Amino acid sequence: MHSPVVILASSRKNSGICLAGKRLDRAARSWVRPVSTLAGRSWSRRGLQYVAGGVPRPGDCLGLPLTDACPEGYQRENVGVRFQPWERHGSIEAVDLGQFLDWPELIWPLGWHSIHGWNDRVPVDIALQHCDHSLLFIHPQVLRFRVSVERSDLVVRAEFVYRQQRHVLRVTDDDAAARWLGRLADGHDGRSDALLCLSLSRPFNGFCYKLVAGVIESGAQG
């Protein structure tokens, strides 16, 4: 049996891909992060080519052969998937995805910043004590994409305001990052009205990082 899911995040995770979305069946609007059996629980591109015909993108509607929940700490949305072909059921247009938005008071605990970010990470012990979810789908009040040089790499970050709180988070949606690298190189000012799917990462060097795992745009962006 396959469960219908709309994909809201398709994010690079080390050498793999992390997917997440919301269910469209009787458990409508509940989050799922379909995880693999690989280290880090991400999917290889080769594996996704086999089960899904390629890497799913935000807005794609899939039928997933979900199995049991397999939560890990605050990543309670993790669900196992049988390794068999997934069903494709078209897609939902970006302008219609607003029905799936979340409206949190805070984007996880605030006050911890990396060198290039702002409110972009949470100490592991704080996350384990105070976070009971790891996925959010939001519409920022003000949003601008920008590029920074980090360890000799060009990194796209989303700088935005949500409920009067500033955030600067790394974009791990590779397609969106590539689009914005090109736009910014061509002189775009970075402003956007996009919807963002955010993910709280697994622990890394004592912190859990807030990432932009999906960028959904409608209309002209320049």
Which 8-state DSSP code applies to residue 118?
B
Task: Note the helical H segments in 58-196.
Answer: 124-130, 174-185
Pick the closest to residue 131 from 66, 203, 37, 36 (CA basis): 203
Is the pLDDT assigned to residue 53 strictly greater than 90?
yes
CATH number (2.60.120, 2.40.50, 2.40.160, 1.10.3470) of 99-216 reads 2.40.50
| The domain made up of 3-96 is a member of CATH 2.40.50 | yes
Instruction: Report pTM.
Output: 0.95
- Give Cβ neighbours of residue 70 (< 8 Å, ≥ 6 apart): 35, 78, 79, 80
Tell me whether the CATH fold assigned to 3-96 matches the one assigned to 99-216: yes
**For a pLDDT cut of 90, what percent of the chain falls above it?**
89
Q: Per-residue pLDDT averaged across 163-169, rounded?
A: 98
Domains of the chain, residue spans: 3-96, 99-216
Residue 191 belongs to what H/E stretch? Answer: none
